[in-house]
Structure 1
Amino acid sequence: MEQVLYKLPDGWEWHSVKKLSHNIQYGHTAKAESNGNAKFLRITDIQDGKIDWQGVPTVSLEEKEISKYALNDDDLIFARSGATAGKSILIKNAPKDAVFASYLIRIVPNKKDIIPEYLSYFFLTPAYWEVVGQNAAGAAQPNINGTKLSEFIVPVAPQGEQKRIVEKLDALLTRIDTAIEHLQESVTLADALFSSALNRVFNPSESSVNSVSDYALPEDWIWMKVKKLSKKIQYGHTAKAADKGSAQFLRITDIQDNNIDWLSVPYVELSEKEIEKYALTENDLVFARSGATAGKSILIKKPPQNAIFASYLIRIVPNTEMVQPEYLELFFRSPAYWDIVKANAAGAAQPNINGTKLSEFKVPTPKLEVQRVIVDEMTCLSDRVTDLKKELKNKLSFLESAKSSILDSAFKGEL
């Protein structure tokens, strides 16, 4: 997709990034080290528009190579590929002998024509991101290269106007970013409130939790292993997902934010016998076996007919004569559970949990009538927290929209 150009104010001109830059350059290809002679900036070291230089690894380079790739103040650095492709950061106060890695692109702005901060703000505008998004559409791995970057057309104001716009954007966006940060902290606090309430339910004495010893429970509560509370613990079906088939095929990636969008879940072709073996039913608990979400679970509610689950998931069928499915779900969201999961995952290259480990987890279990009271109380709190987070996220969305609108106006000469 090409950029949509619009009429500029008098004195403004359209110029390509190539014309506004001294140099557009890819970074150095090497493996990061712990004891090299130069800091080695990678995509993963840029988080939320910031660089924690203390956490940046090093690389061993000759003086000539350091000189070639050395980062200087007012360099613009771009992520070339992956989820952050197109994102940029303006370098300020870089350590001496800091260089950048090959999955980054460096632009050195020509300060005679453009103020670096002005150019940096352009790369935050909706106009820029619309083109980046269109270019990435359909690609297995989103990416942007030096050639594409050099061809972007920037609305360039006279230098005095650039300075005024930068100062205005600094003031406005700093206030908005501060408000966003406070709202994000409130979202985190809302999650912490629910987590703290869960901890009081499942670990009322606030004992240290590990995988080997039990802690004190209230009277009439007992420790019960998951395998005793379950009718079945089962791995899912191994197959490739398809656009069509006889059954919907739930995968780890289809579970987002404790929710399943069944309309987007793919299909698989199976026999009636296989469907019957793996069919998801009301109140099944499904767990991620590996990866970043290992140990996360979801309680199945109102599954479509002929919905099954994939092999990187584990299904538990709760024994409702002994445990409320919703109570068991709450336990698998509690800090007590996650402390044990993390202890088991420590040192593993790839976090994982298997059916055997899961079956051995011990659950603090009261009588069914007490479980029902706990479920009712926690459901009420969960609903309140969900409503609060929704309100906070609406405010965040409004502020992000305001930010985009201000940036859009700035580069049309309307600020």
Structure 2
Amino acid sequence: MLFEQTTLGNVSKGGKGNYGIAASAVDYSNKLYTYLRITDIKDDGTIDFGGLKSVNDEKAANYLLQPNDIVFARTGASTGRNYFYDGSDAQFVYAGFLIKFSIDPDKVNPKYIKYYCLSQEYKGWIASYNTGSTRGNINAQTLAQMPLLLPERMQQDKMVDILSSIDRKIKENKK
């Protein structure tokens, strides 16, 4: 199997990450955008829907997640925790302590990146770059340089199919 060595920035639209909106959370309202914060993202890359908040800011629409976006926690004990947005959960505006990369489906299977960012290899890389003496921290530039080994697209697709079917079974069993 052949692998291409690349970076997260190289497989992302624009080649870089974007920081979320710096706005306060307000009580949840179905008349406002749902505000995705670090605390809403679980270690397994899923959303904790129990305590979602909203955001009431005129710039909020500029920070809406689009399908194939992935956001990363950039600070604290949850540095590196991430969530891949496929458009099925809700409409989310991402908060300021999250960094968003828009994965380019012409360059990689976006869900391959999702699964890579849940791997032990990824977690080890995050730990090695998690800077700060009292509180972990990572920035968009560092995340853009995250190394990736990409198998051929057909292999990516096969891996994603297998892992997605396992995810579906887990979700069904939790009901």
TM-score (norm 2): 0.83
Which secondary structure state, in structure 2, belongs to the residue aligned with residue 141 of structure 1?
Answer: coil
The runs of 5 or more residues in structure 2 that have no matched partner are none
Pick the aligned partner of 2:11 from 3, 15, 20. Answer: 20
1:142 paired to 2:136: yes
> Distance between the aligned counterparts of 1:168 and 1:120, measured in 2?
13
- CA distance, structure 2, for counterparts of residue 32 and residue 170 of structure 1: 32
State the Cα distance separating 1:144 from its structure 2 match.
1.5
2:102 is the counterpart of 1:111: no
1:33 aligned partner, one-letter code: V
Deviation string 1:123-162 (CA, Å, 9 cap, x unpaired) is 1222221121122377311121111100011111222221
Q: Give CA deviations for 1:184-220 in whole Å, capped at 9, x if unaligned.
A: xxxxxxxxxxxxxxxxxxxxxxxxxxxxxxxxxxxxx
The structure with the largest alpha-carbon Rg is 1
Counterpart position of 1:400: none
C-alpha contact (below 8 Å) 2:21/2:60 kept by paired residues: no
How far off is 1:53 after superposition?
4.3
The AA in structure 2 aligned to 1:61 is D
Deviation at 1:52, TM superposition (A): 4.0
In structure 2, do the counterparts of structure 1 residues 109 and 172 end up closer, same or farther at CA, with 3 Å as the change threshold?
A: same
Deviations 1:227-264 (A, max 9, x none): xxxxxxxxxxxxxxxxxxxxxxxxxxxxxxxxxxxxxx
In 1, Cα distance between the equivalents of 2:25 and 2:156?
38
**1:55/1:173 CA distance change after superposition, 3 Å:** closer
Residue 162 of structure 1: aligned partner? 156
Q: Is 1:101 aligned to residue 91 of structure 2?
A: no
CA gap of 1:84–1:66, structure 2 versus 1, over 3 A, is: same
Structure 1 position 54, deviation (Å): 6.3
Q: 1:42-81 to 2 correspondence within 5 Å?
A: 42-48=37-43, 49-53=45-49, 55-62=51-58, 65-81=59-75
Q: How does 1:274-285 map to 2 (within 5 A)?
A: none
Give 1 or 2: higher helix fraction: 1
Q: TM-score, normalised by structure 1?
A: 0.37
Following the alignment from structure 2 to structure 1, what is the Cα–Cα distance between the partners of residues 121 and 151? 16
Question: Which whole-Å deviations, capped at 9, do the CAs of 1:302-349 have from their partners, x for residues lacking one?
Answer: xxxxxxxxxxxxxxxxxxxxxxxxxxxxxxxxxxxxxxxxxxxxxxxx
Corresponding letter in the other structure for 1:26: Y
Q: CA deviation at 1:44?
A: 0.8
Pairing of 1:228-239 with structure 2 (within 5 A):
none
1:102-122 residue CA offsets vs partner (Å, 9 max, x unmatched): 011111100001111101111
| Aligned position for 1:225 | none
Residues 25 and 138 (structure 1), Cα distance of their counterparts in 2 relative to 1, 3 Å cut: closer
* Post-superposition CA distance 1:259-298 (Å, at most 9, x none): xxxxxxxxxxxxxxxxxxxxxxxxxxxxxxxxxxxxxxxx
> 1-side partners of 2:132 and 2:99: how far apart?
23
How many pairs were matched up?
A: 167
Task: State the AA in 2 paired with 1:25.
Answer: N
Question: Which residue identity is paired with 2:115?
Answer: Y
Q: Secondary structure at the match of 1:19?
A: helix
Distance in 2 (CA, whole Å) between partners of 1:77 and 1:14 is 22
User: For 1:84, what is the secondary structure of its paired residue?
Assistant: coil
1:29 maps to what in 2?
Answer: 22
Distance 1:127 1:54, change over 3 A: closer
How far apart are the structure 2 equivalents of 1:154 and 1:47? 23
Q: Tell me if structure 1 keeps the 8 A contact 2:72–2:98.
A: yes
Q: Percent identity?
A: 27
